[in-house]
Amino acid sequence: MPTTVMWFRRDLRLADNPALLAAVEAARDDDATVVALYVLDETLWRSAGANRLAYLRASLQALDEACDGRLVVRRGDPAEIVPQVVRETGAGAVHVAASHEPYGCRRDAEVAAALDDLGVSLERTGSAYAVSPGRLFTQTGGPYQVFTPFRRAWLEHGWPSPARRPRQVPWAALDGDALPEGPEPTAHLPRAGEDAARRRWRDFLADGLADYPDARDRPDLAGTSAMSVHLRWGEIHPRTMLADLAAAQGDGVDPDAVATFRSELSWREFHADVLHHRPDARTRSLRAVVPDDAWTRGEQEDEWLTAWRDGRTGYPFVDAGMRQLLATGWMHNRVRMVVASFLVKDLHVRWQRGAEHFMAHLVDGDVSQNQLNWQWVAGTGHDAAPYFRIFNPVTQGEKFDPDGGYVRRWVPELGDVAGRRVHQPWKLDTPPADYPAPLVDHAHERRVSLDDFQRGR
């Protein structure tokens, strides 16, 4: 029987998946079956952290159940595995959602060339974004470098309605490889899969969206959607979320709440667009802001970086965030900005070192979002925060964790310190003996960073 291949990558779902719909419709036109393929790319498997690998396993298991147990997992180089599956099955086409990150673009070009030798096409339909990266340009024909006009163009461009979920898919039977066990996760991970994503999103729409503008900056509250991990793996498409947001506004939800959340989705798409045009932004600063001699080096860098990674800087709001990351594979967005600012501007450690640690532990680790958000904080990216914007780890904690509940949850050494005093334990009459004194003096390091910035102008 003839077949077509649906190659899943960052779209581990059946609903609102245009590539899958195209594969199913092509199969029905030819009275064919659909091979549900996932290639476990050894390059990505080796470079991903334990938490992300454990979540991926769980998400693939959920997808396999949705595919009636017919998900075919093959391990190896996609440029070899995909053509091999085509030869085994006689498939006439391979359907995918387009990739835009640097590695994915190179991989797809290699696969497309290998398939072309077989006379088979790599059919790209849709992407992981409401508006695919590289589609929007300024009036002068260049890519956007400032977020606000990008968002305006993004909204004006719009996006199609969610694609329907195909029914009674004629999944093909084909042998696959067992999922490797991989390392044990270091964190307690959320439930994975498309059903879990939809449940979490429905719960947020019902109970969290209305309060989102005020609650989203409070790590002591459940004020965010926590949907980043589901977006990372494509268990839900942003187009689905945007349609639901429009429906919620039609049902009377505050338009400001809808606009605020929609803007966060737009930031995700802006960063993807930046990386599409500037793939070197994955590892290189888009612009220099301080002289090269401003960065900490050698043993001092190693010592400070270790303290930051372990949540032992002596600044409770920073340490709570770093420990939350290690314990859960996730960190609240407000805290991500604070801990990143502390590493770059208090400890003078390059943003790349922090981005590497985040990617090693975040379950929602996404190249464009992680790297470009780090560049935003470091002041090196497009439309980034100015380098002289330096987060004060104490006042940030007092403002966004006013009762200290977030700190006490993740820094048990301070569990007996009541109220906002928890943010400055060194001022207590008897500071906790098992919690470190501040690693550096924030006021002094702030002046150093500002001096470095002036030298670099």
Beta carbons within 10 angstroms of residue 416's beta carbon: 9
pLDDT at 74: 96
Q: What is the mean pLDDT of residues 177-182?
A: 81
Position 176 pLDDT exceeds 70: yes
Write down the H helix ranges in 220-366: 228-232, 238-250, 255-277, 298-310, 316-328, 333-341, 351-361
pLDDT tens digit sequence for 127-175: 999 999 999 999 999 999 999 999 999 999 999 999 999 989 999 999 9
**Cα-only R_g, the chain:** 23
Beta carbons within 10 angstroms of residue 141's beta carbon: 6
Retrieve residue 370's tokens.
């992680």
pLDDT at 171: 97
H or E segment at 457?
none
DSSP 8-class letter at 130 = S
pLDDT at 1: 61
Q: Higher pLDDT residue, 357 or 185?
A: 357
pLDDT tens digit sequence for 278-311: 999 999 999 999 999 999 999 999 999 999 999 9
* CB 213 within 8 Å of CB 256: yes
Instruction: Report the chain's terminal Cα–Cα distance, integer Å.
Output: 67
Indicate the pairing of strand 3-8 with strand 93-96.
parallel
* CB 221 within 8 Å of CB 260: no
% of the chain beyond a pLDDT of 90: 89
% of the chain beyond a pLDDT of 70: 100
Beta carbons within 10 angstroms of residue 430's beta carbon: 6
Nearest to 316 by CA among 210, 427, 455, 194: 427
pLDDT tens digit sequence for 412-452: 999 999 999 999 999 999 999 999 999 999 999 999 999 99
Q: How far is CA 63 from the centre of its chain?
A: 20
Retrieve residue 148's tokens.
């606000």
pLDDT tens digit sequence for 350-408: 999 999 999 999 999 999 999 999 999 999 998 877 878 899 999 999 999 999 999 99
DSSP per-residue letters across 426-443: GGSSS--TTSPPPSS-HH
